[in-house]
Amino acid sequence: MKTVNNQHEIEWKDVWTLAEQKGERLHPVSFELLGRGRSLADARGSRLCTVIIGSGVNREDLSELIERGADVVYLVDDPRLANFLVEPYAKILGLLIESYHPEIMIAAATTTGRTVMPYLSAKIRAGLTADCTGLEIEPETGLLLQTRPAIGGNILATIKTPNARPQMATVRPKSTRIPERQPGRAGEIKRIELTEDIFASRVAFERYVPDAEGASSIEEADIVIAGGAGVKTAEGFDPINQLAECLRGAVGASRPCVDHGWQPYAHQVGLSGKTVSPRLYMACGISGAIQHLAGIQTAESIIAINTDPNASIFQLADLGIVGNMFDVLPELIEKIKAIQSSGNR
């Protein structure tokens, strides 16, 4: 893989996103990234391009990438790419960067993105900012402004990459909305042919072991009922579990609850846990530290229950209830069950 930086005569252009295949279809984060990428490309007056590396990529998904904002889709499709391996993926991306010279490249902070992007950036000597919460173009310079939490999430740092190209960043899944489809939108699909040496890897794929705790369920749930330090004990999650069951939702937790062992890490919401974007997020006994708020800011509706009327969570909540969750939740559960038993669901 060649180093492509420090070549000032190269014209760096276009914004790229990295799509991901999950099973036989594209991971939803592939479409989320188009929302961020489209705004960046429009600000730069450039094209938005998407790279998808996989095996048997669904044709409908390719069309959907274009309908949701991509101008060009670079398709790398081969049975040997069915399972993610960092070396072949990085070599493919390096080859594409060397050939097309993207100005900006963004990926999701998934297992794939968090593995291949640092490896790739080191190989091509490009800058990378991980786990960004904000991406925008600086009007004066045209540089990518990459905002991410720093110092344990207590401040937000904005980072620029003035020299190396492409400017690279990862963003958390569920941190932005999927753009609306535009049926009939025009775009181009370019199939990329590979040479045999691309597939050489010092690591082999053996098998996939799913997470027994169902870590993905909280990210995909339409309803999340979460508890914070106000639950006081592991047993304090009992009414939260009951409400989640009534609403067919998932149980979330703030970091203190996980640190105390009241909930497993798979349920942690926030910068050091999961970013969620449900239709409803209910925060019970959660004060609203900035680290937690950053993980729920794209929820459609937020309901907060806290005994402290000055709790930070109320600044983000659509509906706030000042009260003790152990008084509020049992009554709420009772009323929901009464409605469900009457058939008015």
> Phi and psi of 287, rounded to 5°?
-75, -35
Work out the average pLDDT over 90-118.
94
Residues above pLDDT 90, as percent of the chain: 70
Which pTM does this prediction carry? 0.74
Domains of the chain (ranges plus CATH)? Answer: 15-199 (3.40.50.620), 217-340 (3.40.50.1220)
The answer, yes or no, to whether residue 210 has pLDDT greater than 90, is no
Work out the average pLDDT over 26-49.
95
Interior/surface letters 201-221, b for 16+ CB within 10 angstroms, e for the rest: eeeeeeeeeeeeeebebbbeb
The pLDDT of residue 129: 94
pLDDT band at 159 (very low <50, low <70, confident <90, very high): very high
Residues above pLDDT 70, as percent of the chain: 94
| CB count in 10 Å sphere of residue 20 | 21
Which residue, among 144, 192, 137, has the nearest Cα to 165 in the 3D structure? 144
Q: Tokens standing for 191?
A: 């199939």
Q: Which residue has 């592991």 as its token pair? A: 234
The more confident residue out of 329 and 298 is 329
The pLDDT of residue 215: 46
The more confident residue out of 272 and 229 is 229
The more confident residue out of 100 and 153 is 100
The pLDDT of residue 271: 78
The pLDDT of residue 77: 94
DSSP structure class, residue 248? T
pLDDT band at 148 (very low <50, low <70, confident <90, very high): confident
| CB count in 10 Å sphere of residue 195 | 8
The tens digit of pLDDT for each residue in 106-120 reads: 999 888 999 999 999
Average pLDDT over the chain, rounded to an integer: 90
Cα–chain center distance at 71 = 22
The tens digit of pLDDT for each residue in 223-253 reads: 999 999 999 999 999 999 999 999 999 999 9
Q: Tokens standing for 260?
A: 């105390």
Cα–chain center distance at 28 = 9
